[in-house]
Chain A
């Protein structure tokens, strides 16, 4: 059993961190996992993405053409990955940054106004957590609590005051559940 997830967006949106958090959670659950980044040559502000593969056996390729799930944090990422999500897979869209109807049949498209939710929670940096929550609400690869545990275990102590806010953001995102495509 192997699950592939691509997280994509602008540099600075917490794309790589969201992927790392998934990886930590998978590792702590005793799963095999790979995290591999790909980003433009720009140091800041370019497009960034990372691929996370979670598996029960030795992982082969760290990259996949057709992932099971994609978190697209902006419009260019939606355009880039909408057609590559595997049939029956999940596309989580940050609707705040991609206010356009996604035209793709046969996958679950979850539109979440994540930036707005994060702002309403008082911290725009929580956007990636809202989207991660929405992903796990629709893709049972890891329980939501495993992300919360991973945050606590791997976030430097100086950021621990943000843990409750992170949990809230994850929960808010997870409320956006859709029925699987039959």
Chain B
């Protein structure tokens, strides 16, 4: 199939449709609204389910219902809406039914603004909803990758019976790039044996996240954790750039990762032996890979459009063996490559320290404090 010039949000919507999406439920919020609008046009014309819900609470629980019926289902939103969805997300994971969420991040906290940000990393990767659970989280950095990972989200959610999240920022949602869409898959006509589809000739299926007896809940939680270990063992995804001989490593995902790529190229042109590690799976996080890198490289620079959320996961993996520095832009600002280039130069020039916290040093530089 030929490449088309497609906007990120619309590409994700069409990729989901072509992956055999049965139902979409959503609520308008900038900067993901094109996704909902695309669905509102395409799903009915294909005879598939589309509802613009009364709220994100409504949308996520419609997703929950359709997921319990065994259908391929998704929703999409941005920070403030995703916060409202946290209740349903916890129930979906607790009931062990597959579903997909697309979170197109914007500046926050609160109402914030509609400009791109990566400040929902902790909310999505480290929880947000109540209880012990993990979401599979994939972070694309181009329109093509957004398409490919959307399809993958459905497959992974169903393989591991959990929720998979496509986490991106508003700039990728608004960006147009040439990309190739997958072939159209029809809606599945059969439903999984566990689904609530009507108890024809079998015992009733009951889909619930309730385990009133604490030992039952414990067994369930341990079982879910064991399955998560399988995810960790099999589903880590990264992309590496200029890493073979790198003595310094920039770690960044999504848009921050691709901005860093420009900076790394510029630094290479100056002769600085720096590489880029772009995590694609944020959960499971490439901790082992970063841990091994810490054995052979001199220092890390983490770059994010947040005040350093993924930073903590990198620090945990590096475990104080090498200096980790941080550079972020926040509140809806996307860094320019030359800002990160300046940080790479500083990293290469030294001196570096294992003391203190990189966030504090960054904050002091940002605010001109000492």
Contacts and interface: CB of A to CB of B under 8 A. Distances in A.
Interface of B: 3, 5, 114, 142, 171, 174-178, 255, 258-265, 334, 336-338
A27 B180 CA distance: 12
A29 B261 CA distance: 24
Interface residues of A, number: 20
Given A27-B178, A33-B5, A60-B337, 19 more contacts: A20-B5, A23-B178, A24-B5, A27-B3, A33-B177, A33-B178, A34-B176, A35-B177, A36-B171, A36-B174, A36-B175, A36-B176, A58-B261, A59-B142, A59-B258, A62-B258, A63-B334, A63-B336, A64-B336
8 contacts: A20-B5, A23-B176, A34-B177, A36-B176, A41-B114, A58-B261, A59-B177, A61-B259
A37 interface: yes
A-B CB proximity, top 9 nearest: A60-B262, A60-B261, A35-B176, A61-B259, A61-B262, A27-B178, A65-B336, A36-B175, A61-B337
Contacts of A154: 5
A36 B31 CA distance: 13
Interface string A27-46: 10000111111000100000
A154 B3 CA distance: 13
Contacts of B177: 33-35, 59
Contacts of A64: 336-337
Contacts of B261: 58, 60-61
Interface in A55-74: 58-65
Interface string A138-173: 000000000000000010000000000000000000
Most buried by A among B3, B176, B262, B336: B176
**Majority secondary structure of chain B interface residues (helix, strand, loop or mixed):** helix
B5 A37 contact: no
A164 to B, nearest CB: 24
B31 to A, nearest CB: 11
Contacts of B174: 36-37
Given A20-B5, A23-B5, A24-B5, A60 B259 contact: yes
A32 B262 CA distance: 14
B176 A20 contact: yes
Contacts of B263: 60-61
Contacts of A63: 171, 259, 334, 336
A99 to B, nearest CB: 32
Most buried by B among A20, A24, A35, A41: A35
Contacts of A34: 175-177
Interface string A5-31: 000000000000000100110010000
B174 to A, nearest CB: 6
B258 A60 contact: yes
Contacts of A23: 5, 176, 178
Contacts of A58: 142, 261
Contacts of B178: 23, 27, 32-33
A60 B265 contact: yes
Nearest to B259: A61
Contacts of B336: 61, 63-65
Most buried by B among A23, A34, A59, A65: A34
A27 B178 CA distance: 6
A17 B274 CA distance: 38
B15 to A, nearest CB: 18
Contacts of B262: 60-61
Contacts of B175: 34-36, 62
Contacts of B176: 20, 23, 34-36
A35 B263 CA distance: 19
A33 B142 CA distance: 11
A59 B171 CA distance: 14
A20 B338 CA distance: 26
Nearest to A63: B334
